[in-house]
Amino acid sequence: MTTTTLFKIGDIAKQTGVSVGTLRYYETEKLLHPAERGENGYRYYGTETLEQVQFIKKAQSLGFSLEEIRHILEVRFSGEKPCELVQDLLAEKINQLENQIQQMTIFKTELEEYRELWGKTPDDQEFSREICPLVASVPLKASIESLTPVFQSI
């Protein structure tokens, strides 16, 4: 007699905070390998599933897509040393994060500049004749050259 600690999908859902629907969805996406099925067709999961779901959540919160997570999990379950791939993915993700952080920091600085700009505009100054100071002061980066407009009378 082999007694195992098994959870039904609802248990996993409650404990991980991930909905039942999402867990089934993860299965279709190969993120949770097909759980053992009872004769009733029910999925039964072991405790390692709890860890795995937590891992998925964690990885997701770290900005990994389900696709990437599946990739990691596949390697984990196939080879002895998923670590190399994982390291690569990790390094890649760190770079991506770094870039994103840089970009966002630049954006934030830009936005702060605009905020300053308007914060200091005493409302009815000359250039509030503009359609909207915001719109007006946002620099147009794309070139507005080489335009061949249609001249027409209406």
Partner DNA sequence: CTAAACTCTGTAGCCGACTGTAGAGTCAAG
Partner DNA sequence: CTTGACTCTACAGTCGGCTACAGAGTTTAG
Query: In this complex, which beta carbon is closest to a second copy, that of residue 27 or of residue 137?
Result: 137
Query: In this complex, which beta carbon is closest to a second copy, that of residue 27 or of residue 50?
Result: 50
10 binds DNA (CB under 7 A): yes
Instruction: Tell me how long the chain is.
Output: 154
Compute the distance between CA of residue 1 and CA of residue 134 in angstroms, rounded to an integer.
Answer: 73
CB-CB neighbours of 49 under 10 Å? 22
Touching a second copy, residues 5-64 (CB under 8 A)? 5-8, 11, 14-17, 36, 38, 44, 47-48, 50-52, 54-55, 57-59, 61-63
Q: Which letter does DSSP use for residue 30 in this model?
A: T
119 binds a second copy (CB under 8 A): yes
Q: Which of 43, 44, 97 is nearest to 68 (CA)?
A: 97
Residue 61 interacting partner from DNA, a second copy, none (CB closer than 5 to 8 Å by kind): a second copy
Binding mask 135-154 for a second copy (x = CB under 8 A): x--xxxxx-x-xxxxxxxxx
In 3-state terms, what secondary structure has residue 44?
Answer: strand
Query: In this complex, which beta carbon is closest to DNA, that of residue 67 or of residue 112?
Result: 67
CB-CB neighbours of 43 under 10 Å? 20
